[in-house]
Amino acid sequence: MGRKKDPHAPPLPAAEDATTVDFSAALPPGAEGPPEMEAAPAAATETVLPAAEEEAAPPEPKETCKEYLRRNFTAEELLLMGRKMGQAHQELVRLNEDLASIKADFKSRITNKEGEISNYSRMLNAGHEMANIECEVVRDHKDKMVRIYRLDTGDFVRERRMTLDEQQRSLLPPETEEEVAAHFGVESPPPASAEGSVAGAPA
């Protein structure tokens, strides 16, 4: 059975501290109470942070790779491709024209070299060539012949008879004293001196 409460006992005072209780007021006069209990030290409490305040873990790096897949061109890309295709076509036409011009030039140069080789081969086999050589024309009015001699070697080249016009011109009278002397086969008179030209003049 439980202990009955004494109706004459004074009421217990209100506890001021949850950790310390004063039992002296509930004891009869002259009675010694139990030794005063020391307050137990407050246990260290661990601060629990909310989940939002916990330090967030660093995100893992995103892993990527390459795959050969279809990609549709945009309208701007298609327009740019069309322009570049037109420019490439014009460049191709110009290159073909340049190539045709270069081919024609090289063909002409090749033809010239082939002709040069053929000419040297012909001269090498013949040992000589035909060229225009300066010659002297000698007219023999007595024999009425025209003879031609080379000036570089003096060799006789050919002869021919004078034409009627050449024969008639040879019959024309000479105009100068030298030509007259040569025509008649006499010596030409000596030129008049300065003293002869003034002979008879008073001194």
For the stretch 56-114, pLDDT in tens is 788 888 899 999 999 999 999 999 999 999 999 999 999 999 999 999 999 999 999 99
Q: Does residue 50 form part of some domain?
A: no
Q: Does residue 179 form part of some domain?
A: yes
The predicted pLDDT at position 47 comes to 58
Q: Which domain holds residue 165?
A: 135-184
Q: Does residue 169 form part of some domain?
A: yes
Q: Are 128 and 134 in contact (CB under 8 A)?
A: no
Shared domain for 112 and 80, answered yes or no, is yes
Shared domain for 156 and 121, answered yes or no, is no
Shared domain for 105 and 119, answered yes or no, is yes
Q: What is the mean pLDDT of the chain?
A: 76
Determine the Cα–Cα distance for residues 97 and 185; give it in Å rounded to an integer: 78
The predicted pLDDT at position 122 comes to 93
Q: Does residue 48 form part of some domain?
A: no
Q: Are 160 and 145 in contact (CB under 8 A)?
A: yes
Sequence-separated (6 or more) residues with CB below 8 Å from residue 100: none
Q: What is the pTM of this model?
A: 0.36
Separate counts of helices (H) and strands (E) for the chain: 4, 3
Residue 58, phi then psi, degrees to nearest 5? -60, 140
Q: How confident is the model at residue 173 (pLDDT cuts 50, 70, 90)?
A: low
Give 31 or 70, the one with higher predicted confidence.
70
Q: Does residue 144 form part of some domain?
A: yes
Q: Are 13 and 22 in contact (CB under 8 A)?
A: yes
The predicted pLDDT at position 196 comes to 45
pLDDT of residue 203 exceeding 50, the answer is no
Give the CB-side neighbour count of residue 97, counting CA atoms within 13 A: 6
Question: For the chain, what is the domain count?
Answer: 2
Q: Does residue 151 form part of some domain?
A: yes
Shared domain for 115 and 152, answered yes or no, is no
From the list 137, 131, 140, the residue with the least C-alpha distance to 151 is 137
- As given in the structure block, the two tokens for residue 191 are 């030129």
Q: Does residue 4 form part of some domain?
A: no
SS3 135: strand
